Chain A
Amino acid sequence: MSVPMKDGSIKRRPLKRGWTDTLLLVVLLLAVWQGLAWVIGAAELPSPFTTIAFTGRLLTSPSFWPHLLETAKAFGVALLLSVVIGLATGFLLGMNRFAGDLLEPVLVAVYSVPKITLYPILLLLFGLGIAAKVAFGTIHGVIPIALFTLAAVRNTRPVLLKTGRVMGLSTREMISGILLPAAMPEIFTGLRLGFSLTLIGTLLGEMFASQRGLGFMLMNAIGLHNVDVIMALTFLLVLFAGCASGFLLYLNRRFYQHV
């Protein structure tokens, strides 16, 4: 929401307040973390300061980077596949009423099922290694993107579609000129969800039957009872996921909700 000023400029007051609120929230979370560290004991739960210091050391150690790269590669490929397959499925099902009715409940059912149970099947199909992780990340991310795109395309205002037909647009022009712009706000929400779920899927895949990646490092650290590594990795992952999601939310608001 924006507030028009006397001189005609637009002041984004709520957005600004959002920043101080976020800052306050971060301080609050750090305080809770510090409090828990005092209660539980630093040997079991290191304090924010110790963790951040250790994270700095971890980031400069050469053995850490191959794992990070492995995870980044798996996540990147999985995200790309999720977006491409998700958008394609969403548009196909959204533009064809019957196909949508046919397959939407299947997608919804798969969405709410514990997909980790399917991971052994993927491992048997793709073998141990990066392919299974990519596939697992993709099946997590693809469904929300497809579902949101489907709903958005289906709910496009009929007058827009009629206008397109009157003007004799081809299917491709229809998608690029009408459906995509009209559906973009909702698709963006789907992409944000897909981003997070792909990350979750990729990491989950690494936590089981994997020899590389951040997920593997986490599981390895349990065996070694290395709480510092666990905390540093969890901190990094939460930081990355939180910032990415926050940034996407911000973009979403900036582009589509300032009317």
Chain B
Amino acid sequence: MKRATLWRIGLLAAAVAGLEILCLAGAIDRLTMQPPHRMAVDLVRLLAGGALNAAILKTLGNAALAVVIAMVVGVAAAVALHRLPSFRRLLDPLFATYYAVPMFAFYPLLVVLFGLGDTPQIFIGAMLAVVAVIVNTLNGLDRIPKVLLKTARVNRLSPWETAVRITLPCAAPYILGAAKLAVAYALIGIIGAEFIMSTSGMGYEISYAYTNFDNATMYPLIILILAVSIAVNTLLARWERALMVRRGLA
């Protein structure tokens, strides 16, 4: 392992230990924060008890659905825009400013339109994710070597065969990069929406625990969400890197 990695682990461990000492010594009172070891114990208790399984499944299921929608719509839109350069140029400023717009401002409107079910949450998650997918996929499509497309034409491949054998495999690292962003954005969108206003899910459980001063539930849930999203992001980043290295791009 690299020296920086070891030091980083050490630093994080020291930070946790510092929190533990501050909490146990009473410098941080129990109403503000539990000592870290209690959070770990509570997390195990919550997971083993199974009371949160429904909320966890719901949030992760919705996030998966939002990612799938964003990937399908995003890749399809990117392929279409790649064929229509003038339309793409028209939409360029939209993509450039898209993430500047506070997407959660649309959540109240979506709640009014779709009701307070899963739909507005999935909608927000997919909405946040889809443009990252479009931009990344377009980037990948732009980088396909011309010679490969010419070869396809020489060999008289149909558009479908060209897509399956050349376009998509060539753009794969970029599409995977898009998937990585889509997962991060979908989780942010869905948990944020649940947190602001909803009736179930992990985000909702956190805000419910907060309003009830239930730190024994709140902190373990926060840790769980952070751990899940960091783990998923790291795994996808590793995979993306492996693909890039194999392609000689990194």
B102 & A200 in contact (Cβ 8 Å cutoff): yes
With A218-B105, A222-B112, A242-B101: A112-B93 Cβ-Cβ less than 8 Å:
no
B230 & A125 in contact (Cβ 8 Å cutoff): no
Interface string of A39-73 (1 = CB under 8 A from B): 01000110000000000000000000000000000
B38 nearest CB across to chain A (Å): 15
Interface string of B175-202 (1 = CB under 8 A from A): 0000000001001100110011100000
Q: CA of A124 to CA of B33 in the docked complex: distance in angstroms?
A: 8
Q: CA of A120 to CA of B207 in the docked complex: distance in angstroms?
A: 7
- Interface set, chain B 82-106, CB cutoff 8 A to A: 89-94, 96-97, 99-106
A117 & B191 in contact (Cβ 8 Å cutoff): yes
16 contacts between A and B (CB under 8 A): A21-B89, A29-B94, A102-B8, A113-B225, A113-B226, A118-B222, A121-B222, A193-B99, A196-B100, A196-B102, A204-B102, A209-B211, A230-B109, A237-B101, A241-B101, A245-B101
B90 & A28 in contact (Cβ 8 Å cutoff): yes
B236 nearest CB across to chain A (Å): 10
Tell me if A203 counts as interface (CB < 8 A to partner B). yes
Q: CA of A24 to CA of B221 in the docked complex: distance in angstroms?
A: 46
Tell me if A83 counts as interface (CB < 8 A to partner B). no
A169 nearest CB across to chain B (Å): 28
Residues from chain A with Cβ under 8 Å of B32 in the complex: 124-125
Q: CA of A101 to CA of B234 in the docked complex: distance in angstroms?
A: 16
B114 nearest CB across to chain A (Å): 10
What is the interface of chain A, defined by CB distance below 8 A to chain B?
Answer: 18, 21-22, 24-25, 28-29, 40, 44-45, 98, 101-103, 105-106, 109, 112-121, 123-125, 192-193, 195-196, 199-200, 203-204, 207-209, 218-219, 221-222, 225, 227, 230-231, 233-234, 237-238, 241-242, 244-246, 249
- Which 8 A-B pairs give the minimum distances between C-beta atoms? A245-B100, A101-B4, A196-B100, A120-B210, A245-B97, A112-B184, A114-B191, A200-B102
Q: CA of A208 to CA of B195 in the docked complex: distance in angstroms?
A: 8
Tell me if B203 counts as interface (CB < 8 A to partner A). yes
In terms of DSSP, what is the predominant structure of the interface of chain A? Answer: helix
Tell me if B154 counts as interface (CB < 8 A to partner A). no
Tell me if B108 counts as interface (CB < 8 A to partner A). yes
- Interface set, chain B 1-53, CB cutoff 8 A to A: 2-4, 7-8, 11-12, 31-33
For A103, A117, A118, which residue has the most chain B Cβ atoms within 10 angstroms?
A117
Tell me if B139 counts as interface (CB < 8 A to partner A). no
Q: CA of A234 to CA of B196 in the docked complex: distance in angstroms?
A: 16
Tell me if B147 counts as interface (CB < 8 A to partner A). no
Residues from chain B with Cβ under 8 Å of A219 in the complex: 108, 196-197
B42 nearest CB across to chain A (Å): 15
Residues from chain B with Cβ under 8 Å of A195 in the complex: 100
A109 & B233 in contact (Cβ 8 Å cutoff): yes
Tell me if B71 counts as interface (CB < 8 A to partner A). no
A227 & B112 in contact (Cβ 8 Å cutoff): yes
Residues from chain B with Cβ under 8 Å of A208 in the complex: 195-196, 207
With A102-B7, A222-B111: A120-B102 Cβ-Cβ less than 8 Å:
no
Which residue in A25, A106, A221 is a CB contact (below 8 Å) of B8? A106
Residues from chain B with Cβ under 8 Å of A114 in the complex: 187-188, 191-192, 203, 225, 229
Q: CA of A196 to CA of B105 in the docked complex: distance in angstroms?
A: 13
B109 & A234 in contact (Cβ 8 Å cutoff): yes
Which residue in A40, A109, A120, A199 is a CB contact (below 8 Å) of B230? A109
